[in-house]
């Protein structure tokens, strides 16, 4: 009944509205005011754009001051503030401030944090880890070998469900961990595993004196007020609002410059952009669409860095036509990467063309593979050889990804040149993932995916091993599979390089995954902050060492 009344009211309102032309004028005026207000910003920002290019880079006049608070945006509460369980970007970013790693290995060097050194034995079956002297937890207790042993034993305990367990299993068998003295721990491997060293370094120890005796580490209340070893310690957490951390005076890397770091929960990306523009945030990842908003603004320092991610297209080998290698190669030759980069990312400044299934920051990455440079004649020739003059294929992707949608539209156009009719199937994220991770589903023939597999090349093996649940193509190559095992036990770097380069060549020759682009992360940082180079921009956590950031005046 009530609704009917409302309906009548509205129609009466509508009647008034129609009858009176003055109203129309008013509405139009209002719309004009609002749109004028909108366009106003771009006018204001345009001149700033030109000045910014000249002042790129660190400005010299600024002086470093003590204190200040750096504010990050996170899109949800942290999951479990315990490094044994952090698998998502938000929690990993927070844990990076709270918990220090043992050491960090990248393609160039190893940087030591809690660890003083790591030494493999001559037979590579045991590793000796030495901790730095005088290390302290946030509550003042010393960090010792007992904490390391406790951390690793907890990870290896299946009932604790830590996802890091794989780091300490070699061929399914656990690594043995022994305390030698207060600052020395020895790890014994059941068999040689070269990647073990970098996997060990990434471990962020948890304090034994806090967690000892806890039945379920993930559900422990201790995680709500974590005691860590990183540059900032826990101060206050308000669910849905913020997490505040304050300076840890006794941080082993030297007293941090900032008073604290704060993580504010902002789930809506537009709101987060506004908050950043409004000075309520200090830094944020932005998309290529938003570049103009920030690069034209002198209050922000823009930086790009390699996220270590490969965006790719997966071929489903249960499709009959795609079982034919020539068809896959024809598709690869018919795709013009330059057009895709220009159309989706503007230029190679924001995404590099990808030629291998490894990313450039992975060890032993090579471009010495079949690059499938755009070649329409060759593509047509291969299609003819395979005996297809026209072909219908279905391409699935996540409907919320603008990037993937753009890839799809461009490829649809390009592949029509060789007689392939590409049907685009955008799917809700959950629905897509559910189908995608099961290589036997036949709902689509091609799909877009992106992965970050890390520094060590052996990390890529689950994607290509026959029968592995992470092999989304249903790819089987009996010649390739044993090579992954060989790579893990080869201790001579030159020979290892040979193995992994050959692996990349074989996969690219089989063309089961089409590498599209290595997208870069773009961050806009409040220009009042310095020390960005020393703090190192890195994938996932944005900064490697937050203690190096400082405020300027």
Partner 1 sequence: MRRLIVKRMLQTIPMLIAISIVSFLLIKLAPGDPVQAYITPEMGPTDIERIRENLGLNDPIHIQYIRWLKNVLKGDLGYSLVNHRPVLIQIKERLPATIGLMSTSLIFSMIVGIIVGLLSAANQNKLFDRIVTLISYLGISIPSFWFAMMLIFLLSLKLKLLPSIGMRTIGVHSTWDLIKHAIMPTLVLSIQNIAVIARYIRSSTISQLKEDYVIVQLAAGASRNEILYKYVLKNAILPVITILGMSLPSLVSGAFITESIFGWPGMGQLGVTAIFSYDYPLIMAITMFSSLILILGNLLSDVLYSVVDPRIKELN
The whole-angstrom separation of Cα 332 and Cα 313 is 10
Q: Mark the segment that binds partner 1 (CB under 8 A) among 22-30, 338-346, 390-398, 526-534.
A: 22-30
The answer to the question of residue 440 lying near partner 1 (CB under 8 A) is no
The answer to the question of residue 17 lying near partner 1 (CB under 8 A) is yes
- DSSP per residue over 297-324, as a string? -TTEEEEEEE---EEEEEE-TTSTGGGS
The answer to the question of residue 399 lying near partner 1 (CB under 8 A) is no
The 8-class DSSP code of residue 354 comes to P
The 8-class DSSP code of residue 440 comes to T
The answer to the question of residue 385 lying near partner 1 (CB under 8 A) is no
**Closest distance to partner 1 from the beta carbon of 8 (Å):** 8
The answer to the question of residue 42 lying near partner 1 (CB under 8 A) is no
Residue from 23, 28, 48, 323 touching partner 1 (CB under 8 A): that is: 23
The 8-class DSSP code of residue 529 comes to E
The answer to the question of residue 13 lying near partner 1 (CB under 8 A) is yes
Q: Of residues 468-497, which lie at the interface with partner 1 (CB under 8 A)?
A: 469-470
148: closest CA among 103, 110, 109, 111? Answer: 103
Query: 495 near 277, Cβ under 8 Å?
Result: no
Q: What are phi and psi of 143, to 5 degrees?
A: -95, 125
The answer to the question of residue 277 lying near partner 1 (CB under 8 A) is yes
Burial class (CB in 10 A: 0-12, 13-18, 19+), 199: buried
Q: Of residues 77-96, which lie at the interface with partner 1 (CB under 8 A)?
A: 77-80, 85, 87-88
403: closest CA among 330, 509, 525, 309? Answer: 309
Residue from 2, 53, 61, 122 touching partner 1 (CB under 8 A): that is: 2
**Closest distance to partner 1 from the beta carbon of 464 (Å):** 11
The 8-class DSSP code of residue 526 comes to E
The answer to the question of residue 191 lying near partner 1 (CB under 8 A) is no
Q: Mark the segment that binds partner 1 (CB under 8 A) among 129-137, 270-278, 364-372, 544-552.
A: 270-278
Q: Of residues 444-473, which lie at the interface with partner 1 (CB under 8 A)?
A: 453, 459, 462-463, 469-470
The answer to the question of residue 390 lying near partner 1 (CB under 8 A) is no
Q: Of residues 135-164, which lie at the interface with partner 1 (CB under 8 A)?
A: 158, 161, 163
**Closest distance to partner 1 from the beta carbon of 321 (Å):** 27
The answer to the question of residue 181 lying near partner 1 (CB under 8 A) is no
Q: Mark the segment that binds partner 1 (CB under 8 A) among 45-53, 103-111, 364-372, 425-433.
A: 425-433
Task: Name residues whose C-beta falls within 8 Å of residue 321's C-beta, 6 or more positions apart in sequence.
Answer: 327, 386, 388, 391, 393, 445
Q: Mark the segment that binds partner 1 (CB under 8 A) among 136-144, 266-274, 494-502, 521-529.
A: 266-274
Task: Name residues whose C-beta falls within 8 Å of residue 494's C-beta, 6 or more positions apart in sequence.
Answer: none
Residue from 433, 438, 466, 493 touching partner 1 (CB under 8 A): that is: 433
Query: 168 near 175, Cβ under 8 Å?
Result: yes
The answer to the question of residue 368 lying near partner 1 (CB under 8 A) is no
194: closest CA among 495, 463, 480? Answer: 495
Q: Of residues 217-236, which lie at the interface with partner 1 (CB under 8 A)?
A: 218-219, 224
The whole-angstrom separation of Cα 427 and Cα 443 is 11
3-state secondary structure 114-178: CEEEEEECCCCCEEEEEECCCCECCCCCECCHHHHHHHHHHHHCHHHCCHHHHHHEECCEECEEE
Nearer to partner 1, 281 or 351 (CB): 281
Residue from 130, 242, 378, 380 touching partner 1 (CB under 8 A): that is: 242
Nearer to partner 1, 36 or 180 (CB): 36
**Closest distance to partner 1 from the beta carbon of 379 (Å):** 32
The answer to the question of residue 430 lying near partner 1 (CB under 8 A) is yes
**Closest distance to partner 1 from the beta carbon of 320 (Å):** 27
């Amino acid at each position: 009944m009530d609704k009917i009344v409302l309906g009548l009211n509205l129609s009466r309102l509508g009647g008034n509205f129609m009858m009176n032309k003055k109203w129309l004028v008013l509405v139009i005026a209002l719309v004009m005011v609002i749109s004028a207000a909108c366009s106003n910003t771009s006018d204001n920002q345009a001149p700033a754009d030109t000045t910014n290019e000249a002042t790129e880079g660190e400005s010299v006049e600024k002086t470093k001051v003590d204190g200040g608070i750096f504010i990050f945006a996170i899109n949800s509460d942290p999951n479990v503030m315990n490094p044994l369980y952090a698998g998502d970007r938000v929690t990993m970013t927070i844990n990076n401030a709270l918990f220090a790693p043992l050491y960090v290995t990248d393609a160039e060097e190893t940087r030591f944090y809690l660890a003083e050194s790591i030494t493999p034995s001559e037979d590579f079956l045991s590793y000796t880890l030495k901790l730095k002297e005088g290390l302290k937890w946030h509550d003042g207790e010393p960090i010792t070998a007992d904490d390391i042993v406790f951390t690793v034993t907890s990870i290896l305990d299946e009932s604790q469900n830590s996802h890091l367990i794989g780091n300490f299993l070699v061929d399914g068998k656990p690594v043995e961990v022994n305390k030698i003295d207060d600052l020395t721990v020895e790890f014994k491997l059941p068999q040689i595993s070269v990647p073990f060293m970098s996997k060990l370094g990434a471990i962020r120890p948890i304090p034994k004196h806090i967690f000892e005796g806890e039945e379920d580490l993930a559900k422990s209340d201790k995680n709500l007020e974590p005691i860590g070893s990183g540059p900032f310690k826990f101060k206050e957490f308000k669910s849905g609002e913020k997490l505040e951390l304050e300076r840890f005076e006794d941080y082993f890397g030297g007293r941090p410059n900032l008073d604290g770091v704060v993580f504010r929960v902002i789930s809506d990306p537009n709101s987060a952009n506004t908050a950043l523009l409004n000075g309520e945030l200090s830094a944020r990842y932005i998309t290529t669409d938003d570049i103009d908003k920030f690069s034209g603004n002198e209050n922000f320092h823009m930086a790009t860095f390699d996220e270590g991610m490969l965006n790719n297209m997966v071929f489903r080998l249960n499709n009959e036509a795609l079982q034919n290698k020539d068809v896959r190669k024809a598709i690869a030759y018919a795709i013009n990467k330059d057009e895709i980069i220009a159309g989706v990312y503007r230029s190679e400044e924001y995404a590099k063309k990808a030629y291998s299934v490894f990313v450039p920051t992975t060890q032993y990455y090579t471009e010495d593979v079949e690059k499938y440079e755009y070649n329409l004649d060759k593509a047509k020739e291969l299609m003819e050889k395979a005996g297809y003059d026209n072909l219908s294929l279905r391409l699935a992707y996540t409907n919320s990804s603008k990037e993937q949608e753009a890839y799809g539209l461009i490829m649809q156009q390009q592949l029509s040149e060789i007689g392939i009719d590409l049907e685009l199937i955008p799917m809700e994220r959950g629905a897509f993932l559910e189908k995608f991770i099961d290589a036997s589903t036949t709902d689509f023939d091609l799909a877009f995916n992106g992965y970050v597999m890390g520094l060590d090349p052996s990390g890529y093996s689950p994607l290509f091993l026959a029968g592995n649940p992470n092999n989304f193509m249903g790819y089987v190559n009996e010649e390739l599979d044993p090579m992954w095992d060989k790579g893990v036990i080869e201790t001579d770097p030159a020979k290892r390089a040979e193995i992994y380069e050959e692996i990349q060549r074989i996969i690219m020759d089989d063309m089961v995954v089409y590498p599209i682009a290595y997208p870069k992360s773009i961050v806009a940082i409040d220009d009042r902050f310095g020390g960005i180079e020393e703090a190192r921009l890195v994938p996932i956590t944005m900064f490697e060492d937050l203690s190096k950031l400082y405020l300027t005046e």
